[in-house]
Structure 1
Amino acid sequence: AIIEDTDIKKSFYKELGQIVKPSGILASNTSSLPIGDFAGSSGRADKVVGLHFFNPVQLMKLVEVVKTDLTDPNVFDVAKRWAVSVGKTPVSCKDTPGLLVPNLVQALQLLERGDASMEDIDISMQLGAGHPMGPITLADYIGLDTILFILEGWVQKYPTEPSFVVPTILKQMVQDGKLGRKAGQGFYKWNGDKRV
C-alpha cells in the first residue's frame, strides 16, 4: 500500500511503468483519488485501472473496478475477470474522487452533531445495510490520520464540493494522537485488529 497522495502515486507509477513489462496491467486500490490523476505517469495510461477492495477484504465480496477515459476496454475486462477469479464481485465505476470516504464523513458528521452515538451509527449500518463493520469502526480501521489527509487534499482540489468537508471531531482526534486501530485508540480502543 502507498499513501493517498497524488504526487507520491505519480512517482510510484512512473517507476512501475519503467520496471513492469509493457504488457503488464497496473492497478490501484485507492478509494479516494481519481485514477486519471496519476495513471499517465506510468507511460501506459491505457493499462491502468482501479481495483478498490472493501475492508475487511476477506469478508467483503465487492470490488469497485475503475476505468479512466484512457483505459483500454480489454484491460478493463481483464481486471473484472481477475476480480471474479479471486472470488469477488466486480462493479464498474466512473473515475471520480472519493469512492468511499464521503460516506465515512457523513457518519462522522452525524456523530459530531450528536444525532447518534458511534455505536448506534455502526450497528445501524451493520444490521440495516449488511455491512460487516460500521463506518466509525471502518474509519478507525483505515486510520483517522489517513482520512484527514485525504479530505484536506480534496478540500484544496475541490473547494466548492459540499461533500468534501473536514469534521472538527476528526481534526481533534488526530491532533490528540487518536489515529485509530494502528495507535490502539481512535473512536474505539483497539488491541491489534480487534476492537475492545
Structure 2
Amino acid sequence: MTGLNNLHEHHTHATNLKENQRVHSLSKNHDRHIGRHTYRFSGVAAVASLAFAAYKRYTEEQARASAFLPDGRDTLAYRQLGVTLARAMIAATHASGEMSSEEKEELISETHILDIDKQSQALLINEINNPANIQSIVDSASSIEEAAEIYTTSLLAIEFDNINARNYLIMLGAKLELPIKLIWEIEQEVYTQWAFDNLHVA
C-alpha cells in the first residue's frame, strides 16, 4: 500500500505492517465486517499507513510520513498516539451498540498487553465501561494528521451497516473538522483494503 515503506522507516518499533494490514479480516468468528469483533487494539502502524495513504491523495502532494507515525526513538509520543487511537476505537465501538460483558472483558484483557503506563490503562478500562464524551476524543487530536487517524481508527472499529455507528462517524468527522474530500479518501482506502483482504480469505 502507498506509504507503507516510508512509514516503516519512521518507526523501528512498529509491528509487522503486513500483518497489521490484515486486521480487517482477523476474527475468531470469521465475521466479514470490519466491525468491533475484528479491529481491537491492532496496531498504530496499520492505522497510520491507511490514514497516510488517504492524506497523500487528498493533498495531491508528498505528505510527511512522520506526521502520522512518531519517530521510533520517541517512544512516549508513539505510546500517546496509541492510547489516543485506542480511545477512539473504544468510543466508536460503543457507538455501534451496547457492548456485551464478554466484549468488555475481552477488551480489558487486551489493555494488559499494551505497552502503556498504568494511568493510561486505567483510562482505557474506564472508557470501556463508561463511553467517553465524543468531544474528549476530538480534543485529543493536535493536528489534521491525528484527526485523520482518529477517524480512520473509528471507521475500522464499526460495522458498515450499523446506522448508529454511521451517524457517529458523521458527527465525529464534523467535530474533527475534516474536509469532506479527506473523509472520502479515508473511507475509500479502508474499503479497498477490506475488499482486498476478503478476497484473500474467501
If the length of structure 1 is used for normalisation, what is the TM-score? Answer: 0.30
Q: Which has the higher contact order (CA 8 A, sep 6+)?
A: 2
Higher helix share: 2
If the length of structure 2 is used for normalisation, what is the TM-score? Answer: 0.29
Higher strand share: 1
Rg larger for: 1
